[in-house]
Amino acid sequence: MSPGISRREGDETLSTANGLPALLAHLYSSRGVGADEDLRYPLSGLLPPGGLAGIDGAVEILWQALQQQRAVLVVGDFDVDGATSTALALTALRAFGHPRVDFLVPNRFETGYGLTPEIVDMAAARGAELIVTVDNGISSIEGVAAAGDRGIDVLVTDHHLPGAELPAAAAIVNPNQSDCGFSSKALAGVGVIFYLMTALRQRLREEDWFAGQGIPEPNMAQFLDLVALGTVADVVPLDYNNRIFVHHGVRRIRAGKTRPGILELLRIGRRNPAQLVASDLGFAVAPRLNAAGRLDDMGHGILCLLATSRAEAQTMATELDALNSERKQIESDMQREALAHIEGLDLAQSQLPFGLCLYDNAWHQGVVGILAARIREKYHRPVIAFADGGEGVIKGSARSIPGFHIRDALDAVAAARPGLLHKFGGHAMAAGMELAAADFDDFAHEFDRVVRNSLVAEDLQGEILSDGALPVSLLSLECAAGLRDAGPWGQHFPEPVFDGEFNVLQQKLVGGHHLKLSLAECSAPERQLDAIWFNIDPDTWPNSRVQRARVVYRLDINEFRGFVNLQLMVQHLEPL
């Protein structure tokens, strides 16, 4: 079923106040920007750390650990948010003068997610006296209890939604705690640890720690490249606070003020750091870092971010790129198998489950999240893909659609069928879970029932939001550059997308599953425009019968072998 195309509504009232071009005024107003201040991103505009519940207690714990030189072990997560959070915590604590700080990241295939009792055993063997979790821990009830039994204090920093029970940690910093009045609930894990390290630096300044130790006081701006990367990669909403983080992180990277690992990942991803936009972090850097956690060990990704020399970073970035290529092939095979399974059901799309669950015991546990996202994109419904987790258990990764809170849905399943889910956690749009392989069919049925209680068939048709038709005069490199610099764009502050009617002059398949096009806007048929449409169905395209189409696209600047030209990035094409 083809998605519908709707247009955002906006006005140009901002342009009279601050001289914005009419197009930008329209774009900003349609995204909820109602004042000039919403378009300025001074670091002074960040919310103060003191608004985070538990941060004073957390600072006190770290201050005592620093004075006593207690062995601190940072326990992260195996995604990019977890990797950047870990790198930031280590780098900041070392810059603050702590000589005994190290990290441990769970391996999804051996220990699973979060601070588990097994991770605590490993931490104890390494002599940890204080565990600091980053981007995890809010659901680690058993792990925190196990640490307590061993006399190891735990400081939890996280941003995931808490369950009914909180871990018995020495302190918890999480903006999504019920008693936390911090107004930005959209912080990524890396944003949370940045705030904690900022508050700790303030405490150290008040104690004259830096002067007493004879070390320079670190500038917290040096960590904003990590904050920007983790925030973009975790696809958290870019509210005003997060836009400040991303804006300044991108600016630092453009100026070359970033760590060698990020520069090398951009280079290998064929992105020019001097012209970086936020989406480059999501499409060029994040997948290569994530590949380490999906296929091997996120420790490789963290070490790349911690690298201090270009040569070291280059070696690690090359290894991560190879892992990402392997991940792409695995993903492609899994996607083909999943689509064959769905087609084998011999059901019209309207007859498919509202909540779609897929499982194959040969699928790769580290790639099921991407698979769920791909199937969600094609069939526009909540999707959970499962892989074998060993010992009769399967592990699933869920992706949702706007308007359906996936973690709440899992909570509803758990309430209706106690014991069916062994554990679960996540966000509105993504979640992970574990259950017995023998219970897959029961779970799939129950999940579909919960989804049907919240959605109707019309919700599954999908909708593409466009910013409207773009005048031919604005189909230009200048406009593309202006839009690029008008961000940062991202989740809940989406990059501008336009639609219009075009003549389809040429079609060519490139790279196996990308469609290279030559288009001409119908009102200006004499002008030919380059366009590309990624990840098309090669069984459907190219299609010589399509000579005119309504195209949904973004403006992009294509640089290749010294040539620069305008390129339309096609998101949807509807034959006319």
Give pLDDT tens digits for 62-78: 999 999 999 999 999 98
- What confidence score (pLDDT) does residue 338 get? 96
- CA atoms of 74 and 44, how far apart (whole Å): 28
DSSP type of residue 47 = P
- CA atoms of 497 and 465, how far apart (whole Å): 8
Low pLDDT (below 50) residues in the chain: none
The CATH fold of domain 345-460: Diaminopimelate Epimerase; Chain A, domain 1 (3.10.310)
- Burial classification of residue 85, based on how many CB atoms lie within 10 Å of its CB (0-12 exposed, 13-18 middle, 19 or more buried): buried
Handedness of CA 179, 185, 189, 190 (dihedral sign): negative
State what percent of residues in the chain have pLDDT above 90. 79
Measured CA to CA in angstroms, residue 258 lies from 123, 215, 253, 298, 403 at distances of 30, 21, 5, 20, 37
Are the C-beta atoms of 25 and 11 separated by less than 8 Å?
A: yes
- CA atoms of 350 and 73, how far apart (whole Å): 51
Are the C-beta atoms of 172 and 195 separated by less than 8 Å?
A: no
How far is the first Cα of the chain from the last one, in angstroms, to the nearest whole number?
16
- CA atoms of 561 and 236, how far apart (whole Å): 35
- What confidence score (pLDDT) does residue 14 get? 62
Q: Where are the domains of the chain?
A: 49-319, 345-460, 467-575
- At residue 166, what is the residue type? L
- What confidence score (pLDDT) does residue 79 get? 92
Residue 510 Ramachandran class (φ > 0 left, ψ -120 to 50 alpha, else beta): beta
Beta-sheet strands, E only, within 76-191: 101-104, 130-134, 153-157, 171-173
- How would CATH label the architecture of 49-319? Alpha-Beta Complex (3.90)
Nearest Cα to Cα of residue 116 among 147, 156, 137, 143: 143
Looking up tokens 């061993």 gives: 150
Nearest Cα to Cα of residue 341 among 377, 385, 399: 385
Are the C-beta atoms of 103 and 243 separated by less than 8 Å?
A: no
Domains 49-319 and 467-575 share a fold: no
- What confidence score (pLDDT) does residue 4 get? 79
- What confidence score (pLDDT) does residue 17 get? 55
Contacts of 99 (CB under 8 A, 6+ apart): 69
- Asked whether the bond before 542 is cis by omega within 30 degrees of 0, the reply is yes
Phi then psi dihedrals of residue 6, to 5 deg: -120, 155
Pick the CATH number of 467-575 from 3.40.50.2300, 2.40.128.120, 3.30.1360.10, 2.40.50.460: 2.40.50.460
- CA atoms of 555 and 497, how far apart (whole Å): 8
- What confidence score (pLDDT) does residue 15 get? 63
- What confidence score (pLDDT) does residue 566 get? 94
Nearest Cα to Cα of residue 236 among 163, 184, 301: 184
Bridge partner list, 533: 515, 570
